[in-house]
């Protein structure tokens, strides 16, 4: 009898605990989809393309200068004194080094420009995701994509996708999704 009472008591305690433990609601949002729908997307894309084109033009100018000096060096007569040849070789080496440094600096500049442009968007979308999560009782929101294109989720029910709710919170009407024709 004592064992039966103890067993019933444990079962009752477990049942009471299970009823008081809140369920956790997990949703997900597709960052690329949300960002692609924002008005900021085209502006940021254009600014990055413009900045990249400016850097590309500067790099082409440096290459042209290097190529011209290399052609001049290769066209020097065989009777050119060694001191002049060494001076021109040093100048070419310096130009090559300058081009390599510019390439590194250009990559850094492009990454910084992208980061500077994206920080306000990340903040705005992050606040909208947080508001939607709180309004709809979500405990966690997971990004559906990770850089490199690998999915974080192995399975997801579309009813927990809050991407359109986030867009609406941002004041954006989601564009209709077009599905590719099936074969």
Check which CATH number belongs to the domain holding 88 and give it: 3.30.910.20
Q: What distance in Å separates the CA atoms of residue 105 and residue 98, rounded to the nearest whole number?
A: 10
pTM comes to 0.64
- The secondary structure element, H or E, covering residue 13 is helix 2-20
Q: What is the pLDDT of residues 49-89, one digit of tens each?
A: 999 999 999 999 999 999 999 998 888 888 889 898 899 89
Q: Tell me whether residue 6 is in a domain.
A: no
Q: Tell me whether residue 175 is in a domain.
A: no
Q: Tell me whether residue 13 is in a domain.
A: no
User: Count of domains in the chain?
Assistant: 1
Q: Tell me whether residue 77 is in a domain.
A: yes
Q: What distance in Å separates the CA atoms of residue 121 and residue 126, rounded to the nearest whole number?
A: 8
**Which token pair is 8?**
């019933």
Alpha carbon of residue 160 to chain centroid: 23
């Amino acid at each position: 009898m004592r064992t039966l009472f103890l067993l019933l008591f444990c079962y009752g305690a477990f049942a009471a605990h299970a009823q008081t433990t809140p369920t956790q609601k997990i949703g997900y949002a597709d960052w690329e989809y949300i960002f692609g729908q924002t008005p900021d997307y085209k502006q940021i894309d254009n600014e990055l393309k413009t900045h990249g084109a400016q850097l590309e033009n500067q790099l082409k100018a440096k290459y042209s200068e290097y190529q011209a000096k290399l052609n001049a060096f290769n066209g020097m007569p065989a009777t050119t004194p060694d001191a002049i040849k060494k001076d021109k070789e040093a100048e070419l080496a310096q130009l090559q080094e300058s081009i390599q440094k510019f390439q590194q600096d250009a990559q850094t500049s492009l990454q910084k420009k992208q980061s500077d442009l994206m920080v306000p968007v990340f903040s705005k979308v992050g606040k909208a995701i947080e508001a939607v999560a709180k309004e709809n009782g979500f405990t966690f929101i997971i990004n559906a994509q990770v850089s490199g294109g690998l999915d974080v989720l192995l399975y997801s029910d579309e009813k927990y996708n809050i991407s359109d709710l986030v867009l609406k919170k941002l004041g954006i009407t989601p564009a209709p999704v077009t599905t590719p024709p099936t074969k």
